[in-house]
Chains A and B, each alone.
Chain A
């Protein structure tokens, strides 16, 4: 499934929920289900500190594809983190660098990606792209 297809899939899932409470309920569920973060990676090096909440992000490369593992202390943030990982996991560096991530806006969560929310999400996406760029440079050598 391409990034576009995956984003479309998420938009469809959320479009079935008309009430904001149902949408946030789903986000909370997604956040609660994101449990695969390995404790050894919970280091200051992997910490993205927002003013309001924290995000831990770890990335690795396998066969030219990038994988992510992340966690947050706030569940709503964690739910959005889960969606981002679902879209960007197992992609090439170029795919990650070029991903539009328009689905966040389409499902009515754009406010969480505003720099003024200071929840660490904007910095997290930047960091995901930084990892992609770093692996791209490494793979090119």
Chain B
């Protein structure tokens, strides 16, 4: 397989730093991924060579900055195979993108008494904006359950998509269980019932090839910092006719056409939803992250990560005393588990002492923790630069944790 892992690791300087006197093993990619030089350098170039506000000035620097910003939009469009670049709205992250849809889709398409559906495995970011909307507009928020193995209870879905239901908001890959949901089938079913679908792609966009045209989803949202881009950037993809019909969310500069005290008219897509000066430097960095992923190739990344994941499953299952959460047939990118009789906080604290960064706790998915009756898990989430020897280090670290508790 042509995946130059040693060269790739050199692109991420942070991976060679020690932590607590040990080589860093970074397995918290589900929370944030590290940033390659190419992304940081692209942002450096903005600041050092052509920093200027976008879409504002007629001067040279402003034009260069605007061109770089819009080039990033085009890169993202191509990356997810959207039809038009105006369907790509830049946000501060997945959370803001969901809040935008909750506000504007709700205002355009929902009436009191309507219903929304989310699943039991959602991140709080894909629950709370809908709860707020439901409270504001007197909607019903319905929940699609999760089965014991961490798969969605899809048999329960048709009944939830009744004539009152307007939108289904669902994650592509679970941030706790690693379950890869059959989103294409789910979209097809929802559409057959006249229900629109938002897919939370925060945990998927950097692991698998996402094709919004093939998925036919109505909205797809993701964050820059989980796909090796800078923090504070995110993307909302939406179908043009829906975005056109939705009112603006935030008001300010850029999103207007004309402002009079008698009333204002709004700019066209995508600017209608990009009020104020956007993080244009970050967006250029996001564009560089897309370039980085495209250069390695999502197929190659997927194949490398699949092999690494299979090795991690084999290695950690081999320890014999871990309880795994999420054993779906289709899963990947992360493992969530509890060492028997040991609190996740204790395990995570001791692993940190060994230079191993994992996430512990409820992973912003408390309803899912309640579903499994646990306070939290230890989560090892993998990225394109992780290696089998790092998985070995985790396995050995977990053995040491066990020894300390013996």
Interface residues of A (CB under 8 A from B): 20-21, 24-25, 28, 51-54, 73-77, 112, 119
B404 & A52 in contact (Cβ 8 Å cutoff): no
Are B350 and A52 in contact, with the CB atoms below 8 A? no
Contact A24 B404 (CB under 8 A): yes
Partner of B345, one of A24, A25, A28, A119: A119
Complex alpha-carbon distance, A51 and B362, angstroms: 8
The 9 tightest CB contacts between A and B, nearest first, are: A74-B345, A74-B343, A53-B345, A52-B345, A76-B346, A52-B361, A74-B346, A75-B346, A20-B353
- What distance in Å separates the Cβ of B401 from its nearest Cβ neighbour in chain A? 10
Given contacts A75-B343, A76-B345, 8 further A-B contacts (CB under 8 A): A24-B350, A52-B345, A52-B348, A53-B343, A53-B345, A75-B405, A76-B346, A112-B349
Provide the B5-39 mask, 1 if CB < 8 A to any CB of A, else 0. Answer: 00000000000000010000000000000000000
CB neighbours of B400 from chain A (8 A): 21
How many residue pairs bridge A and B at CB < 8 Å?
Answer: 41
Q: Which of A28, A54, A112 contacts B404 (CB 8 A)?
A: A28
The answer to whether B353 touches A52, judged by C-beta atoms less than 8 angstroms apart, is no
Q: A25 vs B405: C-alpha distance in the bound complex, in angstroms?
A: 8
A28 contacts B405, C-beta separation under 8 Å: yes
Interface set of B (CB-CB < 8 Å, partner A): 20, 342-346, 348-350, 353, 360-362, 375-376, 400, 404-405
A112 to B360, CA, bound (A): 15
How close is A33's CB to chain B, nearest CB, in angstroms? Answer: 14
- Residue of B349, B361, B376, B400 with most partner-chain A CB within 10 A: B349
For A50, the closest partner residue in chain B by CB is B345
16 CB contacts below 8 A, A to B, read: A20-B353, A21-B353, A21-B400, A24-B349, A24-B350, A24-B353, A25-B404, A28-B405, A51-B361, A51-B362, A52-B345, A52-B361, A52-B376, A74-B343, A75-B343, A77-B345
Residues of chain B within 8 A of A21, CB atoms compared: 353, 400, 404
How far is the CB of A136 from the nearest CB of chain B, in Å? 33
List residues of chain A with CB within 8 A of the CB of B346. 28, 74-76
A51 to B344, CA, bound (A): 12
Given that A21-B404, A25-B404, A52-B361 are contacting pairs, would A73 and B343 also be in contact in the complex, using a CB cutoff of 8 Å? yes
Distance, CA A43 to CA B348, complexed state (A): 27
CA distance A119 to B360 in the complex (A): 11
